[in-house]
Amino acid sequence: MKRALYQIDAFTSTMFGGNPAAVCPLDEWLDDATLLAIAAENNLSETAYIIDRGAHHDLRWFTPTTEVALCGHATLASAHLIMTVLDRDRTSVSFLTRQSGVLTVEREDDWLWMDLPAAPATPCAAAATVEQALGQTPAARLAASRDYLAVLANEDDVRALHPHRAALMALDRDGLIVTAPGQSADFVSRFFAPRLGVFEDPVTGSAHCTLVPYWAERLGRDELSAVQISGRGGELRCAALGERVKMAGRCVLYLEGTIHV
């Protein structure tokens, strides 16, 4: 059985930047073991599977080790594929997901705006594993439904961070978001999730569902600019909308091929 497969760099306007995602259009769902095996073979932080249902597309996301409830960059990549390759007349797309409801993406020039659920964080008591993972005491420590959020003093501290894998694996949440005020953007971040099979994710839309509410409240503004300062790096435009978060990025198609399963 042959299936088309595309690899798209998301949250970047430059090839080899941002976060690469594989997107595989299907006619109907394959069994979960096959979906996971394809994602493991791709060995990217996320592989997205989409099915065109007419009024909407079904969407699921897999890391190399597990299915996840929400992935921003692979959603952005999927929308880019639909609106620039599969159906070029479209200027918006609606995705029906299993755990995150309906997600919409709209095109504005070369930017794609996603509407995602907010996942605000609240201050939490001292967690030794967070400090062990960081190798330092953060200025603030918060917890969201999926991840911990650690706030450092400045961008240089975030860049210099070398977290400890074993301590990250011992966290009782999926990942650790690390953030600070930015030099060329309102804030910067990095994201670590080895429990999900991804030690450091290059650019993480779902982490910004937590970051945007935090920085909107701290800075007193609803519209923000962000840069994720991983090795590949990526830039986002963000807006806080109460229970929702909007974020925009650009995408570049890198690879178009065929898989045999």
HSE-up of 152 (CA within 13 Å, CB side)? 22
> pTM for the complete prediction?
0.93
Q: Are residues 98 and 131 in the same domain?
A: no
pLDDT band for position 13 (cuts 50, 70, 90): very high
Q: Does one domain contain both 85 and 197?
A: no
Instruction: Answer whether 163's CB lies under 8 Å from 133's CB.
Output: yes
Q: Does residue 126 surpass a pLDDT of 70?
A: no
Q: State the chain's mean pLDDT as an integer.
A: 96
155 and 140 belong to one structural domain: yes
Residue 147 sits at φ, ψ, to 5 deg, of -130, 160
31-78 per-position pLDDT tens digit: 999 999 999 999 999 999 999 999 999 999 999 999 999 999 999 999
* Coil, strand or helix at 222: coil
The secondary structure of residue 70, as a DSSP letter, is: -
Same-domain status, 76 and 149: no
Same domain, 161 and 98: no
| Residues 66 and 170 occupy one common structural domain | no
Tell me, yes or no, whether 103 and 126 share the same domain.
no
Query: Phi/psi of residue 177, each to 5°?
Result: -95, 130
The pLDDT of residue 128 is: 77
216 and 253 in a common domain: no
Say how many C-beta atoms besides its own lie within 10 A of residue 229's C-beta: 24
HEC sequence for 112-166? EEEEEECCCCEECCCCHHHHHHHCCCCCEEEECCCEEEEECCCHHHHHCCCCCHH
pLDDT in tens, 146-188: 999 999 999 999 999 999 999 999 999 999 999 999 999 999 9
pLDDT band at 129 (very low <50, low <70, confident <90, very high): confident
Instruction: Specify the 3-state DSSP secondary structure of 47.
Output: strand
Which helix or strand (DSSP H or E) is residue 78 part of?
helix 72-81
Contact criterion met (CB below 8 Å) for 164 and 206: no
Task: Quote the number of domains for the chain.
Answer: 2
When pLDDT is averaged across residues 218-225 and rounded to a whole number, the result is 98
Catalytic residues: 46
Q: How far is CA 47 from CA 7, 24, 67, 191, in A?
A: 9, 8, 9, 18
Same domain, 159 and 84: no
Angle in degrees, 0-180, between the axes of helices 205-219 and 72-81, rounded to the nearest 10: 110
Q: Are residue 42 and residue 21 in the same domain, yes or no?
A: yes
Tell me the CATH number at 68.
3.10.310.10
Taking alpha carbons only, the member of 178, 175, 185 closest to residue 234 is 185
For residues 106 and 131, membership in a common domain is answered with: no
The answer on 238 and 126 residing in a single domain is yes
Cα(141)–Cα(130) distance, integer angstroms: 8
Domain that holds residue 90: 2-114+248-260
